[in-house]
Amino acid sequence: MKEPQPLVFTGTLILPDRLLSNGIVVCAGDRISAVGSAGEFAIPRDATVIEAGSGYLAPGYVDIHVHGGANADYMDGTRAAVITANRAHARHGTTSIFPTTTTGSRAQIDAMLRAARAVRDDGGVENGARVAGVHFYGPYFAEDKVGCHIVSGRRDPDPEEYQAHFDLGIVRVATCAAELPGMEAFFREASRRGYFCTCGHSNSTWTEMQRAYDAGMRHVDHFWCAMSSVPSVRARFGTPSQGSMEQFVLMRSEMSTEVIADLCHLAPELLEFAYAMKGARRLCLVTDANRALDMPPGRYRFGAEADNDWFESDGRVGFIPGGGLASSIVGMDTMVRNMKTATSCGIVDAVRMGSLTPAERVGLDADIGSLAAGKRADILCLDTDLAVKRVFIGGREFEGRT
Ligand SMILES: [Zn+2]
Ligand SMILES: [Zn+2]
């Protein structure tokens, strides 16, 4: 394959701590070689120059919690499903993606992990967002907090099962509900392997969270969704009222969390509250998008197409019949824009929460997450409303925008 011409981007750069107008990003192959003010670096004569015009240059987004898109769910368990979803998310600015398992049979989860691994090993900009690892999310959910996931597919942690899944070498983020028997061994093993450990779909108490924390857990999935509160813990144990996941995350500076900023799951004041309490270094934006992303309103399955429950998309969000939300149907571009317009965080922190912060939390910030020399050339051209105009993944333009 012919090497691409050197790429140079000029315009207003969105850096992790500030905007830099008249900025320049020089790429060599799949990496960024220099970032600075225009005039600081000579532009190679044969370079292709991409000008952001009145818009912005941003790092590609990093989504650590996402189920699918364009009518594909990662749990469909095929390479085609992974690629279809990854291409859909690339159109929305995600360049590093963590396909996320749900509840389901061991065979379904195994198929999903193998499919994600095969697509990761293929690489290729035409496959859309690059698989940076799998988020092993289901099946270790608490029965009373399964939310939109099929309850028959949940179970308690089984070391024989998760070791086999972990041994496939594709998991990078690991979720378990903190009240389940075997939780500590699960988090210890995941930590030992260097995974980012998170608690979700859980009705755990402060004490259970502390045990999980001691075993390496440092994050809670989709804050205020399918998680415990003081009243929900009181329903388990009565009085005195005990602390819940909410207090644990807010009190512990090392704990991070994530929000679904589609304005359907959480009202603006909760997005503002989460940002004010945790700050941009401990709050991630995730899409948690399902297969109805970029699809018309209608009925879809959450999880594997074969046997999972239906939900309804109204074009804004997914619903479970009879109430309750079934995760989002919009991309990271919308989450970043909503965070900027609905809260006081500003453009720099809004982009950071969709890029560098998740990269830091999973330990990949030396490689991705910001416009910095040495990192992968994952670069977005955004317009003034933060709509994605062009997407570059590893220094190559993703052409599948339509
Ligand atoms: Zn969930
Ligand atoms: Zn989810």
Packed helices 268-278 and 332-342: angle between N→C axes, nearest 10 degrees:
90
Q: How confident is the model at residue 42 (pLDDT cuts 50, 70, 90)?
A: confident
Over the stretch 63-78, which tens digit does the pLDDT of each residue have?
Answer: 999 999 999 999 999 9
pLDDT at 163: 98
Is 172 among the domain residues?
yes
Q: Is the pLDDT of residue 345 over 60?
A: yes
In terms of domains, do 245 and 115 share one? yes
pLDDT at 304: 87
Q: Ligand 1 mean position to 289 CA, how many Å?
A: 10
In terms of domains, do 283 and 338 share one? yes
Q: How confident is the model at residue 118 (pLDDT cuts 50, 70, 90)?
A: very high
In terms of domains, do 120 and 166 share one? yes
Is 375 among the domain residues?
no
The closest ligand to the CA of 145 turns out to be 1
Task: Determine which helix (DSSP H) or strand (DSSP E) holds 341, and give its type and residue range.
Answer: helix 332-342
Q: Ligand 2 mean position to 101 CA, how many Å?
A: 8
pLDDT at 381: 98
3-class secondary-structure state, position 353: helix
Q: Is the pLDDT of residue 2 over 60?
A: no
Q: Ligand 1 mean position to 221 CA, how many Å?
A: 7
Q: Ligand 2 mean position to 106 CA, how many Å?
A: 18
What mean pLDDT is predicted for residues 74-103? Answer: 98
Contacts of 142 (CB under 8 A, 6+ apart): 154, 177, 179, 180, 201, 202, 203, 204
Q: Ligand 2 mean position to 128 CA, how many Å?
A: 20
In the beta sheet, which residues pair with residue 14?
19
pLDDT at 148: 84
In terms of domains, do 389 and 242 share one? no
In terms of domains, do 81 and 108 share one? yes
Q: Ligand 1 mean position to 326 CA, how many Å?
A: 8
When divided into structural domains, the chain yields a total of 2
Is 213 among the domain residues?
yes
Q: Ligand 1 mean position to 325 CA, how many Å?
A: 10
Q: Is the pLDDT of residue 401 over 80?
A: no
- Residue 279 CA to residue 322 CA, distance in Å, equals 35
In terms of domains, do 270 and 317 share one? yes
Is 376 among the domain residues?
no
In terms of domains, do 45 and 70 share one? no
Is 160 among the domain residues?
yes
| Tokens 């500030």 belong to residue | 18
The closest ligand to the CA of 141 turns out to be 1
Q: Ligand 1 mean position to 204 CA, how many Å?
A: 15
In terms of domains, do 164 and 118 share one? yes
Is 260 among the domain residues?
yes
Is 374 among the domain residues?
no
In terms of domains, do 106 and 247 share one? yes
The closest ligand to the CA of 201 turns out to be 1
Contacts of 102 (CB under 8 A, 6+ apart): 67, 73, 75, 137, 138, 139, 149, 150, 153, 302, 303, 308
pLDDT at 400: 82
The closest ligand to the CA of 63 turns out to be 2
DSSP states along 293-330? TTS-SEEEESS-TTTPPEEEE-SSEEE-TTS-EEEE--
Taking a C-beta distance cutoff of 8 angstroms, is the pair 174, 186 a contact? yes
Q: Ligand 2 mean position to 235 CA, how many Å?
A: 24
Q: Ligand 2 mean position to 210 CA, how many Å?
A: 23
In terms of domains, do 34 and 174 share one? no
What mean pLDDT is predicted for residues 70-97? Answer: 98
Is 335 among the domain residues?
yes
Q: How confident is the model at residue 112 (pLDDT cuts 50, 70, 90)?
A: very high
Over the stretch 188-226, which tens digit does the pLDDT of each residue have?
Answer: 999 999 999 999 999 999 999 999 999 999 999 999 999
Q: Is the pLDDT of residue 391 over 90?
A: yes
Question: What CATH number is given to the structural domain containing 23?
Answer: 2.30.40.10
Q: Is the pLDDT of residue 4 over 80?
A: no
Q: Ligand 1 mean position to 147 CA, how many Å?
A: 7
Q: Ligand 1 mean position to 201 CA, how many Å?
A: 6
Q: Ligand 2 mean position to 326 CA, how many Å?
A: 8
Q: Ligand 2 mean position to 220 CA, how many Å?
A: 12
pLDDT at 3: 60
Q: Ligand 1 mean position to 65 CA, how many Å?
A: 9
The closest ligand to the CA of 303 turns out to be 2
Q: Is the pLDDT of residue 259 over 80?
A: yes
Domain with 47 in it: 7-58+382-397
In terms of domains, do 142 and 35 share one? no
Question: What CATH number is given to the structural domain containing 289?
Answer: 3.20.20.140
Q: Is the pLDDT of residue 230 over 60?
A: yes
In terms of domains, do 37 and 124 share one? no
